[in-house]
Amino acid sequence: MENQQERRQSFSKRLTQIELENRMILFSYTVVADFFEFQADHLLFMNATDSVGKQWIFVGKFHASDNVGNYVSINLPWFALEKGLKVNDEISFTEIPQGNRPWKNFKVVIKRRIRLFGEDIWGELM
């Protein structure tokens, strides 16, 4: 039961080459449906705090596509540069409840796979 609740409070994805080139991450709307109400072509704003306490504002957009369905794109140009994001890094957003405010607050965490003594270990980027 705890894992289901944890999944509802956060969403994550491994980054692809195309996402890094465009400094934009794409989520299927079903992945983020618990957090945002879909409104085609509308913007969304996310306040986020990273692992070292730095504040970020991410701007996203809702998209409707006949080919791939509804999805959300989230721009992260300065964040991607400063964090040195790479293909297969995992980005996670965990909601920080703020009551009835019109924007969402999240903790954003980046994890990278590191090979250590022949074993894969996921480490958090700071």
Q: Where are the domains of the chain?
A: 11-125
Tell me which of 2.40.330.10, 3.40.50.12780, 3.40.50.2300, 3.40.50.1820 is the CATH number of domain 11-125.
Answer: 2.40.330.10
Q: What is the pTM of this model?
A: 0.84
Q: Which amino acid is at 86?
A: K
Retrieve residue 12's tokens: 């994550």
- What does the DSSP assignment read for the chain? -HHHHHHHHEEEEEPPHHHHHHTEEEEEHHHHTTT----TT-EEEEEEE-TTS-EEEEEEEEEEETTTEEEEEEE-HHHHHHHT--TT-EEEEEE---TT-SSEEEEEEEEEEEEETTEEEEEEE-
How many other C-beta atoms are found inside a 10 Å radius of the C-beta of residue 100?
4
pLDDT digits (tens, 9 = 90+) for 32-80: 998 999 999 999 999 999 999 999 999 999 999 999 899 999 999 999 9
The model's pLDDT over 22-34, given as tens digits with 9 standing for 90+, comes to 999 999 999 999 8
